[in-house]
Amino acid sequence: MLTEVTAPRGGLAGTLAAIPSKSHAHRALICAALSANPSRLICAQRSDDIRATAACLRALGAGIVEAADGFTVAPIAREQVSPGTVDLSVGESGTTLRLLLPVVAALGRSARFQRGGRLPQRPLSPLYEELVAQGCVLGEPTVEPLRLSGQLRSGAYRLDGGVSSQFISGLLLAFPLLRGTSTLCLTATLESQPYVEMTLAALRACGITLNFEGETFSCEGPQTYQAPTEVIVEGDWSNAAFWLCAGALGDRPLTCTGLDLESLQGDRAVIDILRRFGARVETDASSVTVSAGALAGIEIDARNIPDLVPILSVVALCAAGTTTISGAARLRLKESDRLAAVADVLGRLGARIKTTKDGLVIEGGRRLTGAAVDAWGDHRIAMMAATASLLCEGSVRITGAEAVNKSYSRFFKDFEALGGHVEMEEF
């Protein structure tokens, strides 16, 4: 599909409600499915990734019904699970795969994980080796489907904290299901720490006790998940960041509502980064308003905020001087090589941008031209390209922009609601 995006003169403006947090929804769904009691998730908008997690839990035996405002969840009845191999289609959701792989292993289920897009090529080490060492049988990680059998055992686990926080979160979700003591020692500095903190908060909300001392998590099992009867999925800072950054690029303010300023989501840092760029940022109890200021280049350490790199790169183009982004090497292993994708798309629009080993160097302070670009099969690259139209003299024509369905199916409708123009053409 070809999507042509044109920004209005003066930029986007208005008020928009943040969509529910994908990260929060994944964790809440899994905890609810493992619980001893039924519960309800209020999640007014659902993406392909969230639906993938719900579908996998349903295949494992949870009674999950999707309604207009979210999901009702009847937990997995483990005593009624039939033997045999279950097929789990995770789509392109790396979060679904990485969180559920240890959980399914802890349940002792045999499964075939069906993966789409670039996911079969994205690394599973060192989680893969730890699962095998603790009782699991896994097929070749790049062979589709990924096969799992065996029973995960409690014991001593070790992971590099700098590889993927989702590996850590998956094990922490699995540990309470195991009989005996399980420990997880981090052998390197934890990156994307806020996502692990979100997992710990979800576990605490379900009455699970875990300890973290030094570099080691420990859990005595088995423990019983007891999910709250109702969970309201909080607003998504990662996706709201596209609109907040758009507010810094136009002539009029833009407001996002439904955001928790005390959220554990790491991408809440976008408001502090925008202030550092020089944008005007105003907050109240549940909303953020951003308007343009005298933007200047800054240095950004992206170790805990990798998902913000694409849209912050667009802000950098509007900032005088040079912006340097570092600590983002893991972006090369996302739905695309995001460092290469950001440089390619913005470069085609006229930006002066280059990649480094772990980041980007961006020269700002110049207008861009419209051009044809490819979304690289990546939802955040598609949204970045559309937002970059605010800096372009012509339209931005995006091939593969339907990738936004992975996390934000309403993105282009909301772009239009804020004053933008979108035309879609099937090939």
* Phi and psi at residue 47, to the nearest 5°: -105, 175
307 catalytically annotated:
yes
Among all chains, which residue has been given the structure tokens 């999640």? 43
Task: For the sheet with 322-326, list strands across it.
Answer: 299-301, 322-326, 360-363, 352-355
Task: Tell me the CB-side half-sphere exposure of residue 132, using CA atoms within 13 A.
Answer: 12
Helix, strand, coil proportions of the chain in percent (round to 5)? 35, 25, 35
Name the nearest CA neighbour of 150 among 138, 136, 131, 140.
Answer: 136
- The answer to whether the beta carbons of residues 330 and 303 sit under 8 Å apart is no
Rounded alpha-carbon distances, angstroms, from residue 33 to 38, 227, 234, 290, 364: 8, 9, 19, 38, 48
The pairing of beta strand 254-257 with beta strand 14-17: parallel
Burial (CB count <10 Å: 0-12, 13-18, 19+), residue 413: exposed
User: Which position among 48, 49, 236, 307 bears the catalytic label?
Assistant: 307
How many of the other CB atoms lie within 10 Å of CB of 134?
A: 21
Nearest residue to 130 (alpha-carbon basis) of 84, 175, 79, 76: 175
Sign of CA dihedral 316, 319, 324, 327: negative
The CA distance from 93 to 358, in Å, is: 23
For 10, other C-beta atoms within 10 Å of its C-beta total: 11
How far lies 317's CA from each of 298, 410, 415, in Å?
Answer: 11, 26, 20
Alpha-carbon gap, residue 202 to 175, rounded angstroms: 14
d(CA 382, CA 369): 17
Task: Give catalytic residue positions.
Answer: 307
